[in-house]
A and B are shown apart, each in its own frame.
Chain A
Amino acid sequence: MNPMKRDEGELAKLRRAFGSLSQPAAEPAACPAPEKIWNAVRGELPPAETREIVTHTAACAACAEDWRLAVALQRPETARVIPAAERFSAGRRLRNWGLAAAAALAFAVVGVQWARHASQDPIYREGEQAAVRSLLTEGQALPREQFLLRWEAPEAAGATYDVEVSTEDLRVLASGDDLREPRLQVPASALAGLPPGTRILWKVDAELPQGGHVSSPTFVTTVQ
C-alpha cells in the first residue's frame, strides 16, 4: 500500500476516534467559557492561555467538541464571500470531512483574494495577513517539472521570505528560508509519486525591510 495513503488513512482514523468521544465534562467547573474557546480558536488569546485551553481539551471530550464547533463556525465566515457558483461546484467535490476542511481553508484564501478586488468591506479571519498574495490562480494546476510558486508582498524590495510547501496530510515537500526573490521552484523529485490533481498547500512568511513581518494565508496549487 502507498505509505502516504496509509498515513492519511491512519490520521483520519485517529481523528475520528478522538472526535468520537462525547462524554459529559468530568469537571464542568474547569471548562473554559465558550468565549475563551472562541477567542483561542481565533488566535486572539495570549499563548499561555491558549495552551491551557488546548491542554484541557486533550482530556475533556466535551470541550474538545466545543473547540471543533468553534472551528467549524469560524471557517464558513470567510467562505461566505465566495461567489455562489464557485461554492456550489467546489461543494460537489467534497467527499469527506478531511476534504471539506481543506476546502474551507481554500475558500478562506479565495475569499480574501476575491474580496480584495471587490469594493465591499466584509470581515476576514486573516485580513491582516492577506498582504502576501499568490500570483497563481487558486487551485491552478502546474506541471511537476515547472512547479514554480510565485507571490507578491508589500515593500518587496529588500524583503526575505520563508516558504513551506506540504501536502494536505501535512507531509512537507519543500521549503525555502531567507529567499530574496518572491518565488520558489519545487523540485520535480519532491512531487514524484503524487497523483495528478493532488492539492499542494503553501504558505509564505515575509520579513519586511523595515523589520515588520507578514504571513500569507495558505495557498492551494494543484499538481498537473
Chain B
Amino acid sequence: MVTPDTQKPSSPGTVSPFPGELDLIALRDDLKRAVAQTCPRWMSDRSEDIIQVALMRVVEIYRKREGNAEFSSFYLRKAAYSAVIDEIRRLRRRQEVPLEDENSETRYDPPADGPDPERATASREVGRAIQDCLGKLVSPRRLAVTLNLQGHSVPEVGRLMSWSTKKAENLVYRGMADLRGCLDGKGVVR
C-alpha cells in the first residue's frame, strides 16, 4: 500500500508507482492546512485519521482511473475534499447531540484563538444570533452577508452570485447594516 508517508520522490533508476500529478505529500499538506484552518477543536485529534482516509480514497480513485486523459491534480483535490467531508459528516453523525445541550460545547468546540472558554461561549452566542438574524434578511442581502461572513471579498461575492461588483458591494453594505440592526435589537454586544 502506498501511503503519503511511504511515497518518496523517485530516485534515478527507479520508477514511482505514481506520476508527478499524484503528489500525495503536497496534497496531504494542503489538506492538513485547510482542516487546521477551518475545523473545530473537537475534530483536531481526529484530523490525521480523516486525512489518511481521504488520501487512501484518492489513491483508490487514481488506480481505477489511471490512463484517463481527463485526470488532473485538481480532480484529485476535489476527490480528497469529498472524502474529508464524508468522513467529517460521519463523525458528526456519530457524535450527534441535541443542539441546545450545554454539554455539547465540550464536543463542538470552535476553532478559537485561545482556550478561554468564556470567550468561546460568548462567541458562539453571537454566532447563534447572527444565524438567526441571517434568517430574517431579505434573500439577496442574506446571500451577500453570508458569503462576506464566510470570508469572501466583495468581488468574490459578485463573482459567486453572478452580480456586478457594484451590486455585490451594495448588498453587502446594506445587508451588514441590517445585520447590525438585528444584533442590536437582540442586545448582542458586537
A residues touching B (Cβ–Cβ < 8 Å)?
A: 10-11, 13-26, 28, 31, 33-35, 37-38, 40-41, 43, 47, 50-51, 54-55, 57-59, 61-62, 64-74, 76-77, 80, 97, 100-101, 105, 123, 164, 166, 170, 172, 175, 201, 203, 205, 215, 218
Contacts and interface: CB of A to CB of B under 8 A. Distances in A.
B124 interface: yes
Contacts of A73: 30-31, 34, 77, 80-81
B65 interface: no
Contact of B159 (A15, A19, A43): A43
Contacts of A74: 77
B164 to A, nearest CB: 8
Give the most central of B26, B39, B86, B150: most A CB within 10 Å.
Answer: B150
Nearest to B110: A20
B68 interface: no
Contacts of B150: 15, 18, 57, 64, 67-68, 71
Contact of B38 (A14, A38, A68, A76): A68
Given A20-B123, A24-B92, A76 B34 contact: yes
Interface of B: 26, 30-31, 33-35, 37-40, 42, 72-74, 77-78, 80-82, 84-86, 88-89, 92-93, 95-97, 99, 104, 108-113, 120, 123-124, 126-128, 130-131, 134-135, 139, 142-143, 146-155, 159-162, 165-166, 169, 172, 176, 179, 190
Contacts, number: 182
A15 B169 contact: no
A109 to B, nearest CB: 12
A23 B86 CA distance: 16
Q: Which of A21, A50, A105, A201 has the most CB of B within 10 A?
A: A21
A17 B127 contact: yes
Contacts of B39: 65, 69
